[in-house]
Amino acid sequence: MNIPHTMPSYGMRRRAGFPNLEDGFAFEVPLHLTGFFYPVYRQSWELTGSLGAGIVIRPGLRCVVGGGEGLRFEGEPISWGPALEVYNELGRGFSVHLSGNCVPGAGYAFSAASSLAVAACFALAGKIGVGEAAMRAHVSEVRCRTGLGDVLAIWNGVGLVLRKRAGGPGVGEVENIRISDKIAIVTSELGRLATDSLLTMHHDKIMEAGHRFYGEFLKNPSLENFLELSNRFSRALGLVDRSVEEVVRPVSPRLLGWYVKKRVLVMVVEEAEVGEVAVNIGASLPIVRVYKPGEVEWRRYLETILDTSPS
């Protein structure tokens, strides 16, 4: 699957008031699975964020621009969150239809990806710049308490992403750590857990364990160490219980490593092991999803569209 991509150009028409944006225009924004982190609160939304590491994954959220107005995910209206805040603040004027192989509120960074998708639509429409769009997505996410570092990781990250300086895009800084393109990420949901609830319930544990594991990762920034530390972080927060252990135990010899992001069970495997792992996990959990490490092409694609759009 090649992403991001556009829908066929036939039948498209430009939106009134938005000369660079056509009905049917489509692109895709990656998702993000944090392994460990700790919050960094500053005097402004722009400077606030987190330090940690995670994997950017694809396929992500597919975003399609349409007629009328409104913001939807899989056909259902989005009634709250940073994406809706961005959409309303920037003036609406077209509809945005999101779809994707994920569940909001589970741990896929849906709020970050959706707010980035909406903000990018307004950048493509010529209403704001690309950099401002990314920062608006970050500010809305922090303000809504749905995330701290996911927008930065998705905007600047490829594969395994280390967040080295907190803040939104243009302020924060990441380091992309090369990982094999022969691996896959297999996930399943264990339930839902709001980021606000996670930060409130486990604040002290997050700060202590996040600081410690972040420091350990800096000494050896590798996928193997990331998976080990992410598993330990999940356990420190109490996200791994006996039932999770029982689900993972039959496939553990086939895994490169695993952890729990909020309520998403994350397993990293060699591509050759995907089928066996998915079948075994599917015997215990109803839905199994498979992803690949994310790429930076989606952002370059948007920037190329802007560079070649008529003024």
**Nearest residue to 259 via CA among 107, 84, 98:** 107
Within a domain: 3: no
Q: State the chain's mean pLDDT as an integer.
A: 90
Within a domain: 6: no
Number of structural domains in the chain = 2
> Would the pLDDT of 188 be above 90?
yes
Q: For residues 209 and 237, is the Cβ–Cβ distance under 8 A?
A: yes
Band the pLDDT of 310: cuts 50, 70, 90: low
Q: Is 155 found in the same domain as 195?
A: no
Q: Which tokens hold the place of 116?
A: 């980035």
Euclidean distance between CA atoms 18 and 69, whole angstroms? 13
Q: Is 90 found in the same domain as 28?
A: yes
Q: Is 209 found in the same domain as 147?
A: no
| Residue that has been written with the tokens 């992410």 in this structure | 230
Q: Is 231 found in the same domain as 133?
A: no
Within a domain: 191: yes
Q: Would you tell me how many other CB atoms lie within 10 Å of the CB of residue 128?
A: 18
Band the pLDDT of 12: cuts 50, 70, 90: very low
Within a domain: 109: yes
Q: Is 142 found in the same domain as 35?
A: yes
Within a domain: 9: no
Q: Which tokens hold the place of 77?
A: 């209206």
Within a domain: 7: no
Q: Stretch 102-125: mean pLDDT, rounded?
A: 94
Within a domain: 61: yes
Q: Which tokens hold the place of 4?
A: 């991001």
Helical H segments across 17-173, by residue range = 82-89, 110-124, 130-144, 150-156
Q: Is 125 found in the same domain as 225?
A: no
Beta pairing partners, 62? 28, 99
Within a domain: 47: yes
> Would the pLDDT of 5 be above 70?
no
Collapsed DSSP state (helix, strand, coil) of residue 178: coil
Q: Is 144 found in the same domain as 24?
A: yes
Q: Is 19 found in the same domain as 168?
A: yes
Euclidean distance between CA atoms 214 and 67, whole angstroms? 45
- The domain of 221 spans 179-293
* pLDDT score, position 15: 44
Q: Is 115 found in the same domain as 65?
A: yes
Q: Is 221 found in the same domain as 149?
A: no
Domain of residue 123, CATH code:
3.30.230.10
Q: Is 47 found in the same domain as 78?
A: yes
Amino acid letter, 2: N
The pTM score is 0.91
* pLDDT score, position 20: 52
Domain of residue 267, CATH code:
3.30.70.890
Q: Is 204 found in the same domain as 158?
A: no
